[in-house]
Chain A
Amino acid sequence: MAGTTRTPTNLTQGAKADAGIGASTLRPDGTLKVTGEFAYSSDMWHEDMLWGFTLRSPHAHARILSVDTSDALAQAGVYAVLTHDDLPTEHKKYGLEFTDTPVLADGVVRHHGEPVALVAADHPETARRAAAKIKVEYEELPVVHDEASALAEDAPLLHPGRDDHHAHEVPHPNIVHRQPIIRGDANAAARRADVIVTGEYEVGMQDQAFLGPESGLAVPGEDGGVDLYVATQWLHSDLRQIAPVLGLPEEKVRMTLSGVGGAFGGREDLSMQIHACLLALRTGKPVKIVYNRFESFFGHVHRHPAKLWYEHGATRDGKLTHMKCRIVLDGGAYASASPAVVGNASSLSVGPYVIEDVEIEAVALYTNNPPCGAMRGFGAVQACFAYEAQMDKVAAELGMDPVEFRQLNAMTQGTIMPTGQVVDSPAPVAELLRRVKALPLPPENQWESAGQTADVRALPGGLSNTTHGEGVVRGVGYAVGIKNVGFSEGFDDYSTARVRLEVVAGEPVATVHTAMAEVGQGGVTVHAQIARTELGVQQVTIHPADTQVGSAGSTSASRQTYMTGGAVKNTCEAVRDKALQLGRRRFGTFHPAWATAELLLEGGKVVTDGGEVLADLADVLGDDVVDLELEFRHRPTEAFDIVTGQGFGHVQYSFAAHRAVVEVDTELGLVKVVELACAQDVGKALNPLSVVGQIQGGTTQGLGLAVMEEIIVDPKSKVRNPSFTDYLIPTILDTPTIPVDVLELADDHAPYGLRGIGEAPTLSSTPAVVSAIRAATGLALKRVPVRPEHITGV
């Protein structure tokens, strides 16, 4: 690395011109984001606004014996103090899948950091001081913190009397959801195996660690309603949960998306939304709530920690015979997205391989640990770490090259998933592995600079100066993964787009209005590209996302370009048809092609498919405005059978492969990832620059899980490291060069043939890094993050 200078020629630069799909056009919000003017949710400000503050439980499981707010209320500058008793309606709970989460603790706290009371005051410090004066008397209760304690005979039940839709089918009330998948006969197939390899694996609790903390501003309206400016992943899902608690009809809760400082799944659940609205409605004043980093660790769900048991068999010639696995996910105190995470973990537990005989079980538990839910990769990350470790292990047992072994068993288009679903679009698993393997390896000993001293920045330990090359061993590892795209298991997954086409100052202009949460992924960039492609206009305005238009669904599950991109395309096509109808009415008699030819909109003109210009779009539109709002759905899916797990459960699959090159200081157990190459099939890159950015970002989050990121929860279910001092995410000195090879094999079922891309790179990154560390050290390494203790064995 030392001595390397800038290489501007290698830059993937944004296209100079505005362009349609396939070009690397620049972000429409880029200028505002680099000048500091882009308004994030924590930047909201209002005359006379108050600051909200949340008092949280110091215990993981306790009964609340009493709450006395009188001293807090007596503080100068305090406008309101609210507890569970102050909630205005009988709807006192909310939740993504189950309505099981109290808005404010209902006499029991079930996890460390659960909200107990709210304060609104004229300054954040006043609010904090007042909160400190709220007297809460707790009686601590025993905690449920793992599978054994959750399922013990006398285990305290987290949610006695459950009435959710999985309640009647779970084997124990502390199991949120259980999804078995049985296909073929694993026991019979095991008898054909020449080798059988088993393994137990563990994945720690990862945090999304988005940089913009939970925040927003609620402004009471004159009509008794409320305007809420907030950072979220899904406005309409928030709205559905907020309105009943406030006792307001949905149209009186007007939500506008503020700038979102990253999400990664952590904003799929509500955080401060209802709290800010309650305080605003109570005080009649605008209320802003901004979590600090400490509170943020309690303000959102995390990635489910998991324990995984796997058994694989293979014949001497390297063919996998069967797989059995059991995956236990810790869902924490409330359900959040746990049921869907179980479905993913279970249905993707085989990985991108052909195995006909399987026995799979995945469960999520209710415990007193922090609630877990959506995070990039969503159940598939945990499984991928385990099955890829198993692939290395089986290959080693057979004496085969681990990449060749994977390729020999790789799924292809036409492969039948363990759920019985036929993979009906390209699945270039072997090819992705071939591509990362074919890349040249980075040079050795890059820390050796021209001078005498080692450049520690290129060594494990970095600036901390722990080695000048001593103990450093290189290792190379591979992994590949499979992720579903979109909402699965029969969910009615749709998105809505409103598109308006009109003439402004003599030019045709398209306005695209959706409720899609732009969380950084670049949805706003591709929406404009799509509108430009479909409507042939130069100027496209992206309307701010709000609830004045229909739902866009969540910015998650790698689905937004597919779904809201698809919705924009779909509506644009309908708008185009309307515009052409106008054209036929106005100009149809002037040229026969109006009636006979396939017509397109290009460069602001109506042209025939032969390229003949029929009219200017501006003339076609005249004073008319074409304005349509339409819903778009992907093809329907079905629920997995609760006994056999069979069902057409997923819309689309997404694949990525990684090669990791690491250097490990084997004596100190410190790791430097030297290079992390990725190859991914994206179907169609609507914006290649953004695609590569997503892949590199996802890859880096996987690296973080591999070697440093973990929320540590003690046996009393308390979080021990809720800060950026002790929850570490990769810095620029921890992150290697990430070469990306993008493959574009169209999925004919999807708009433009595209494939959702956001999550797949997060899956295979982690096991590739760990595989490389295993190669360097010869250790088994069954748990992530890998800590120095695991490598040094002390």
Chain B
Amino acid sequence: MDFLRPASWEEALAAKAEHPTAVPIAGGTDVMVEINFDHRRPDVLLDLNRIGELHDWEVGEDTVRLGASVSYTRIIENLRSVLPGLATASHTVASPQIRNRGGVGGNLGCASPAGDAHPALLASGCEVEVASVRGTRMIPIDEFYVGVKRNALAPDELIRAIHLPRADGPQQFSKVGTRNAMVIAVCAFGIALHPSTRTVRTGIGSAAPTPIRAKAAEEFLAAALEEGGFWDNGKIIPPAVARQFAELVSGAANPIDDVRGSASYRRHALGVMARRTLGWTWDEYRGNERSARCA
């Protein structure tokens, strides 16, 4: 096994071009488990820790550029106001020790359906900046997950940053695990209200071969909100609408039975989380609207 320690992004890209099978390691919270338990013996480990820019973030007018290695702890501490969905999801990641090391780039690199960041990323509608010696490209999050633990990266590409729209409305994230901390998702759900476009986006984790959106549910809800003038009148969403939204979220999932939970429970729990998180985000939206009107 070789251990490469590039000091700059350019060096890292060159190394990845030279060793396309090299496994990038940043926080190590997935890769090292595989090595410790003899599930993986890469020829080359490519350490990204030395590349300072991967740990930086920039909050712009409309978007946040989040370096691939920014730790979950930093996201929780610094980006809650601009990326509330991702910050809430980050808080559910494993343990403080893991949150101190792991970052969104790792979640995307592994592309495990159980990664906690995915539902929030899908709900936000972000883009993933990937690069190789051949150049840089932006992959919309909707096109990023291509199979079980497979993503849209070419063998010579590395994830550099995630470009997330600044939250233009309330966002929530919720995950079911059978323990109150340090637990892998049985299933998870993220929702983001986008009042500026009058749309709603969602993300589902651990309930299909890849992280997915519940598009039918999103479309149904957007239409129902539009039709009832809810964005403007800020009324409570009728229970029937919430219920229908929940059922559509549930129906979007394609879960399996495994040691963490049954497929039917996952579907059920997604419905409950969808209904509750919709309630929380809508309450917040109404509260904001009211205070905006009062001001």
Report whether chain A binds chain B.
Answer: yes
- Chain A interface residues toward B at CB < 8 A: 128, 292, 294, 457, 460-468, 470-471, 667-670, 672, 707-708, 712, 720-721, 723, 725-726, 728, 730-734, 787-789, 792, 794
Show 23 residue pairs from A and B whose CB-CB distance is below 8 angstroms, ordered by the A residue: A128-B38, A294-B37, A461-B177, A463-B91, A464-B175, A465-B172, A465-B174, A667-B272, A668-B269, A668-B273, A670-B176, A672-B180, A728-B179, A731-B179, A732-B181, A788-B178, A788-B186, A788-B265, A789-B265, A792-B265, A794-B262, A794-B267, A794-B268
Which residues of B123-182 are within 8 A (CB) of A? 172-182
- B189 CB → nearest A CB, Å: 10
Determine if A728 and B92 form an interchain contact, defined as CB atoms under 8 angstroms apart. Answer: no
Complex contact A465–B180 (CB within 8 A): no
Report how far A792 CA is from B260 CA in the complex, Å: 15
Q: Are A463 and B173 in contact (CB under 8 A)?
A: no
Find the B residue at minimum CB distance from A790.
Answer: B265
Q: A464-B177, A464-B180, A465-B88 are in contact. List 6 more A-B contacts (CB 8 A).
A: A465-B172, A725-B184, A726-B259, A788-B178, A792-B269, A794-B265
- Give Cα A464 to B186, complex, Å: 11
Chain A residues with CB under 8 A of B181: 462-463, 731-734
Q: In the complex, A396→B235 CA distance in Å?
A: 46
Alpha-carbon distance between A669 and B183 when the two chains are bound, in angstroms: 16
B215 to chain A: which residues have CB within 8 Å? none
Contact, CB under 8 Å: A726 / B37 = no
Instruction: Tell me if B180 and A731 are in contact (CB < 8 A).
Output: yes
Annotate B85-106 by CB proximity to A: 1 below 8 A, 0 otherwise. Answer: 0001001100000000000000
Would you list the 7 A-B pairs with minimal beta carbon distance, nearest first?
A462-B180, A733-B181, A733-B180, A794-B268, A464-B175, A731-B181, A721-B259
**Residue B261 at the chain A interface, CB threshold 8 Å:** yes
Task: Contact check, B259 vs A461: say whether CB atoms are below 8 A apart.
Answer: no
In Å, the complex CA distance between A794 and B270 comes to 12
Indicate whether B3 reaches chain A with its CB closer than 8 angstroms.
Answer: no
- Chain B interface size, as a band, is 35 or more
Distance, CA A292 to CA B176, complexed state (A): 28
For the complex, give the distance between the alpha carbons of A461 and B259 in Å.
18
Set of chain A residues within 8 Å of B186, measured between Cβ atoms? 788
**B residues near A, CB below 8 A?**
36-38, 88, 91-92, 172-186, 259-262, 264-265, 267-269, 272-273, 276, 279-280
- Whether A464 contacts B92 by the Cβ 8 Å rule is yes
B264: chain A residues at CB < 8 Å are 789, 794
Partner of B176, one of A294, A461, A728: A461
**Number of cross-chain contacts by CB at 8 Å:** 97
Closest to B116 in A: A464
**In whole angstroms, how far apart are the Cα atoms of A708 and B183 in the complex?**
11
Tell me the bound Cα distance from A730 to B265 in angstroms: 22
On chain A, the residues within 8 Å of B176 by CB distance are 461, 464, 466, 668, 670, 788
Min CB–CB distance B91 → chain A (angstroms): 6
Which residues in A have their C-beta under 8 angstroms from that of B265? Answer: 669, 788-789, 792, 794
Write out the residue numbers on chain B whose beta carbons fall within 8 Å of the beta carbon of A707: 178
Q: Are A789 and B259 in contact (CB under 8 A)?
A: no
Residues in A neighbouring B262, C-beta threshold 8 A: 789, 794
| Across-interface contacts of B261 in A (CB, < 8 A) | 787-789
For the complex, give the distance between the alpha carbons of A721 and B261 in Å.
Answer: 12
Distance of A468 Cα from B276 Cα, bound (Å) = 9
Contact between chains at A730 and B91 (CB < 8 Å): no
CB distance from A770 to the nearest CB of B (A): 15
Contact of B38 with A467 in the complex, beta carbons under 8 Å: no
Smallest Cβ distance from B111 to chain A, in angstroms?
18
Residue of B nearest to A462 (CB): B180
A465 interface neighbour in B36, B91, B269, Cβ under 8 Å: B91
Chain A positions within 8 Å of B185 at CB level: 464
A463 to B268, CA, bound (A): 20
Tell me the bound Cα distance from A730 to B173 in angstroms.
23
- Residue pair B178, A465 in contact (C-beta under 8 Å): no
A730/B260 in contact, CB under 8 A? no
Contacting pair A466 B182 (CB below 8 A):
no
Chain B residues with CB below 8 A from A708, complex form: 178-179
- Residues of chain A with a CB closer than 8 A to B272's CB: 471, 667-668
| Cβ B276 vs Cβ A467 within 8 A | yes
Closest-by-CB residue of B relative to A466 is B174
Question: Across the interface, do B180 and A461 meet the contact criterion of CB distance under 8 Å?
Answer: yes
Give the complex CA separation of A470 and B173 in angstroms: 15
In the assembled complex, which residues on chain A have CB atoms less than 8 Å from the CB atom of B182?
731
CB A671 to nearest CB in B, in angstroms, measures 9
**Interface contact B37-A463, CB-CB below 8 Å:** no
Contacts of A725 in B (CB 8 A): 184
A294 to B177, CA, bound (A): 21
Q: Which residues of A contact B173 (CB under 8 A)?
A: 465
- Cβ distance B32 to chain A, nearest Cβ, rounded Å: 13
Contacts of A128 in B (CB 8 A): 38
Is A787 in contact with B178, judged by CB distance below 8 angstroms? Answer: yes
Give every chain B residue within 8 A of A462 (Cβ-Cβ).
Answer: 179-181
Residues of A within 8 A of B175 (CB): 464-466
